[in-house]
Amino acid sequence: MELPVDGQLEIDAEAKLRNLECAIEAILFVSGEPVRQARIAAALGVEESDVEAAADRMKGQYAFERRGIRLVNLDDCLQLCSSPEYADCIRYALETRSPPRLSQPALEVLSIVAYFQPVTRLYVEQIRGVDSSYTLGLLHDRGLIEPCGRLPAPGRPLQYRTTHVFLRTFSLQSLGELPDLPRVESIDDGREGIQDAIFELRSREGPMEETRIEPGEGPRKGPGEGQSSPL
């Protein structure tokens, strides 16, 4: 029996969408890192809107089938990640340890970077009132922040911004999902509003990215952390 033309078109469209989903899944699986949707679209010869539609359907399928992986949006990127409910299984099977949650000083610095980025070390220290070099280095080591150029000012200090790891760790698809803070137009206002940011990030904090310590390597010390910053 021959299918009606309209039915055949529906089958062709479904097969095309399924092929697109499989291609996206393969790309993200091999990459292991966030991949821009525009790059996927260009590689597959489709529109970016087609990639977005396929990704939305894939996310729904993974959730409905309670799969061990998830497809997440990170700004304009897509990434495959393990489902949080299987974190303990992964740690046990791969013999990894759960990284510690962020300390209060680390959350303070991370909140400032998240809400005021791009920022310099001096800007962070002006808000906190203490030296923050060690904490910035720690957050960079964890992959939560990264350098993003230099400020066109004397000394050309490094500027920092948050990363896709930050978004993934705090279950955010984009920075736009962070709640607005009142009074953030000046450093003094920032001091008042940053506690709200810390509370918000603490409530969202999920499993940290795994950080391995090689044999014989101890935790980094933070000389100067907590000391007043000479401004």
- Interatomic CA distance for residues 160 and 125, integer angstroms: 13
3-state SS assignment for residue 3 = coil
Single-letter code of the amino acid located at 46: V
What is the reported pTM? 0.60
Span 5-94: which CATH code?
Answer: 1.10.10.10
Domain extents in the chain: 5-94, 104-204
Of residues 76, 70, 63, 67, the one with CA closest to residue 34: 76
Same-fold call for 5-94 versus 104-204: yes
φ and ψ of 3, to 5 deg: -75, 150
Q: CB atoms < 10 A from the CB of 31, how many?
A: 15
Residue in this structure with the two tokens 């922040």, named with its chain if needed: 145
Of residues 123, 110, 98, 105, the one with CA closest to residue 208: 98
Q: What is the pLDDT along the chain (231 residues), one digit of tens a residue?
A: 343 444 444 557 788 888 999 999 999 999 988 999 999 999 999 999 999 999 999 999 999 999 999 999 988 899 998 888 888 888 888 876 666 778 888 888 998 899 889 999 999 988 888 899 999 999 999 899 999 989 888 888 999 999 988 988 887 888 888 877 655 555 555 555 666 666 666 666 654 443 332 233 333 333 333 333 332
Q: CB atoms < 10 A from the CB of 103, how many?
A: 12
Work out the angle at residue 126's Cα, subtended by the Cα atoms of residues 124 and 132, and round it to the nearest 5 degrees: 45
Cα-Cα-Cα-Cα torsion 97, 169, 159, 140, nearest 10 degrees, comes to 0
- Interatomic CA distance for residues 81 and 98, integer angstroms: 16
- The fold adopted by the segment(s) 104-204 is Arc Repressor Mutant, subunit A (1.10.10)
Single-letter code of the amino acid located at 177: E
